[in-house]
Amino acid sequence: MTKKVFIIIIICVLYVWNSYAQQNKSVTERNLKIGLLIGNDESIAARNGAEMAIDKANEEEGPDGLRFQLLVRSMEGPWGTGSKEAVNLVFNEKVWAILGSHDGRNAHLVEQVITKTHIIFLSAWATDPTLYQAFVPWFFSCVPNDLQQANILIEEIVYKRKWSKITIVSDKSYDSKVALQSFLRETKKANKVEPMQLFYDSSNKNFKYLFEKISKNDTDCIVLFGKPTASKKFIQQLRQNGMNQPVFGTLSLLAEDRSDEEELTQLNNITLVTSGNWFDSEEVLFNKEYYKKYDKIPGAVAAYAFDGVNLIMEAIKHSGFDREKMQETMSNIHYKGVTGSIQFDEKGIRMDAAELIEIKNGILITLEK
């Protein structure tokens, strides 16, 4: 090894060591940074939910208390942008933790970063169950993953209602494909059903060709995997064509904020997966405060981002402002959020995360497990 190469290696080691030394010092400044990674610049709901949590915390701390700061970065761009933004948040901005509100593919990129940097990464939207297969102790998720969602849907459809003729309708996005695969894997375990699979292009606005196949299959119920806008359009056209099959959907159908309660009627007589009935009533404090601040009724993206940031702030405080203790604190945390009670198993999976709600005449009813 030449002297020049040796010097370069020493400089790199000192740089990394200094970065971590700076990150792990006790809190001398009152400004604590939390990173938020979003799918693109149009992901306003996640930003709103996270900012609302930050604002409330700073207000409670008062002018002389701790100050939390949210740093938002978009993962939009060429493949790999997400990992670059995560690296920037860790090494340049020295955030205490990263909250992710984006798809599963980008979540895998961020997971690779935190594996090497040992910074907490809390997913507040990606439901891909393969994220847990790497057994990264700094990864946590506050949303029900695809396997949890599949299991509770199958329990309701197959075991409780005794239906066997199931039609799956899905778009071809990464998250939908992973959710579909999870559902098929779990139905195979049930050894009772073999769903019919139908696919559509998200840009398609007419689903007539799907309805013809559904009718021929004499379908008992329909399970939707897809983005909210297209899924709502599908449901609307389904009912307009006089087809009244029960429809089940995953958490993604609740993603978007709503402008008023009437929008909920578009999902009338639909059963959906969630983690608590936070949007049950206008009387819910979170709903009222969010509506007052942003003139919108919060959807799932905003609710989980709000809970996610609050979880991170709780972990920072309860770890004694010690970064090395944050992982242990998160692992043992018990937090009551707007999306329900949150605690994690040894893989960072949210325990008892999934439940079903049914929308009837604009009223949300929680179904018994």
Write the DSSP string, 188-199.
HHHTS---EEEE
d(C-alpha 185, C-alpha 130), whole Å: 13
Give pLDDT tens digits for 85-127: 999 999 999 999 999 999 999 999 999 999 999 999 999 999 9
Residues 29 and 109 in one domain: yes
Two tokens, residue 145: 């993953």
What pLDDT shows up at residue 10?
Answer: 36
d(C-alpha 48, C-alpha 51), whole Å: 5
Give pLDDT tens digits for 160-171: 999 999 999 999
Q: Tell whether 319 is covered by a domain.
A: yes
Provide the domain limits for residue 217: 147-274
Residues 184 and 270 in one domain: yes
- CATH code for position 336: 3.40.50.2300
Residues 151 and 139 in one domain: no
Residues 197 and 326 in one domain: no
- Residue that wins the pLDDT comparison between 186 and 268: 186
Residue 198: is it exposed, middle or buried by C-beta count within 10 angstroms (0-12/13-18/19+)? middle
DSSP conformation letters of 191-258: TS---EEEE--TT----HHHHHHHHHTT-SEEEEES-HHHHHHHHHHHHHTT----EEE-GGGG-S-B
d(C-alpha 136, C-alpha 331), whole Å: 12
Partners of residue 196 on adjacent β-strands: 167
Give pLDDT tens digits for 193-206: 889 999 998 777 78
Residues 269 and 289 in one domain: no
